Amino acid sequence: MEVIKQWLIDNEEVLWLTGEQFLIALVIFFVGLKISRVFERLTKGLMTRKGIDPAASEFVSKIVFLLLVTAVIVAALNHVGVETTTLVAMVGAIGLAIGLALKDSLSNFASGVLLIVLKPFRVGDFVETGGVVGTVTSIQLFSTSIDTPDNRKNILPNSMVFGSVITNYTAHARRRIDMVVGVSYKSDLQAARKVFETVCAEHEEIYDDPIPFVGVDALADSSVNFTIKAWCATADVIRLRCELLERFKIGLDAAGVEIPFPQLDLHVQELPIVNQREE
């Protein structure tokens, strides 16, 4: 007991310093933990206000919290004299190994976060991406689901979606219908133009601003091609295109304008039969 007592007396200053450092390290840890929680809530609240998916908000805020807690632990250990260089190197090596093993998943996750944050499309939009055309039904952290018009579900990795060209057909409230209709060379072009302009002007769902455009597009091999461009609501593009083409045909027939179609003239020539005498 006397030896221990004497050792404590001899090392009183060192022990006091060590105890003080330990208390400061505890303060650093608990205060840092509180600050990390605050930043976690701030990150989650900010992402929620931006309209980001709740699952993504929760996941990203947890990552922010873990990164901050790791930094706090390193700072606390460093304050009590623990060599943290080796620890940081080990954590970095482990993180690198995990990153290499999960590079595809991490790539999908990063792309998913970017899709949610940047919002090139939303659930319900009709898009073309990754070689698939259809309606977006869900945007998850690792994959995006798209239903095709014939009701097939396609689940695409987010890295494929974000890494390819994204065409959002429903991003705007209005779209333009582009059509090409050919008439024969012997038809009255002014009469044909009148039919196209009248059909577009009289259709109640075709916008008059901008005014539908009608013009000769090409002098093709067997027809004079008119191009017709008309604007309408995005949701009605396919239906209105079919309706306009039907009305064009009816109007052209009534105006006596011929729509050419491929024809083949077959000429059969009879050859005389030569009888060969057998020897």
Would you call 252 exposed, middle or buried from its count of C-beta atoms within 10 A (0-12, 13-18, 19+)? buried
Q: Tokens representing 214?
A: 């009608």
CB 190 within 8 A of CB 205: no
Residues of the chain with CATH 3.30.70.100: 174-254
Indicate the Cα dihedral angle 96, 100, 106, 107, nearest 10°: 120
Residues of the chain with CATH 2.30.30.60: 120-168
Phi, psi for 203 (deg, rounded to 5): -75, 125
Tens place of pLDDT for every residue, the chain, 279 residues?
554 445 444 444 444 445 566 777 778 888 888 888 888 888 888 877 766 666 667 777 777 888 888 888 877 777 666 665 665 666 666 666 655 555 567 788 788 878 877 889 988 999 999 889 999 998 887 889 999 999 999 999 998 998 899 999 999 999 999 999 999 999 999 999 999 999 999 999 999 999 999 999 999 888 999 999 999 999 999 999 999 999 999 999 999 999 887 766 677 777 666 665 554
Question: Is omega for the bond preceding 210 within 30 degrees of 0, making it cis?
Answer: yes
The DSSP secondary-structure symbol of 272 reads P
Q: Which class is domain 2-101? A: mainly alpha
174-254 maps to which CATH number? Answer: 3.30.70.100
CB 135 within 8 A of CB 126: yes
Dihedral sign (CA 6, 7, 11, 16): negative
Residue 73: predicted pLDDT = 80
Residues of the chain with CATH 1.10.287.1260: 2-101
Secondary structure (H, E, C), 211-246: CCEEEEEEECCCCEEEEEEEEEEHHHHHHHHHHHHH
Q: Which fold has domain 120-168?
A: SH3 type barrels. (2.30.30)
Q: For the whole model, what pTM was predicted?
A: 0.61
